[in-house]
A = this chain, B = another copy of it.
């Protein structure tokens, strides 16, 4: 009988075995090993929001080693961070947990309406740091979206030929859409489709709301009676948009919120068949024990 992990690997028939090796590594790591589900710890807030806003609540987080250890101790599938954070711990934690090198980042000292991150690393960096994957953020809806798509295209080509998994954060944002539109179901589904068409192996989107942003889309959702009334239904629709379930789609935890609210959302994501969650601020901005407990509770949901 084909295991769930092998079934998922079977979706990636155009990729060479080097990519499958790293994808399997991620799916055979941590508490969720073998389930085909993911809980990933990302820590790029130091770059994105500044160090004090990110780490002052739990000052252990200033130390790059803290996050490696947190991801391992909590049983995560992988740990994602920008170049500097990985460089500062890659030797000590080499091979202990799959890492994802985040290859583009924005800082908060200049905030244009249409975001366009800087490319801050490359595939050779990911190889020398022993990473399993590269991560890249695209902002559909930004006037600079095409530059990001084209940067991603080149990095993804390099990554695939080097056997690295390509993880795409697909976050609609910018002058093309409204604030509510950033997590609207039609926009999130579209964002998943764009990432998949650009060749992503793993796609990260926001949990979608029942708002519909684009008039042309609303007509179709209504005419065809696409069910977007509940979070599970919306997750199912997003998976459909990601090649009928043939691509791994995981969900962000979003802004820091109450624990119960977060867990409720995770339950909806799981019920809809989501492949997992990426949980950053909600885990490392608490004391380590609390953060680990939260991550473990999330994993329990995905194992159920």
State the A residues within 8 Å of B (CB). Answer: 9, 11, 13-25, 28, 46-47, 49-53, 55-57, 59, 62-64, 82-92, 94-96, 105-112, 116-122, 124-125, 127-131, 140-143, 145-147, 149-150, 153, 157, 161-163, 172, 174-177, 186-187, 189-194, 196-200, 214, 216-217, 220-221, 223-224, 226, 237, 240-241, 243-244, 246-247
Contacts and interface: CB of A to CB of B under 8 A. Distances in A.
Copies of this chain, tallied across the complex: 5
Nearest to A95: B24
Contacts of A237: 52
Given A56-B226, A120-B197, A153-B121, A129 B14 contact: yes
Contacts of A52: 186, 189-190, 217, 220-221, 224, 226, 237, 241
Contact of A16 (B14, B20, B106, B246): B14
A84 B196 contact: yes
14 contacts: A9-B94, A14-B88, A14-B129, A51-B190, A52-B190, A53-B216, A56-B226, A64-B246, A88-B243, A106-B146, A109-B194, A118-B149, A121-B199, A162-B162
Given A56-B221, A116-B146, A190-B108, A128 B63 contact: no
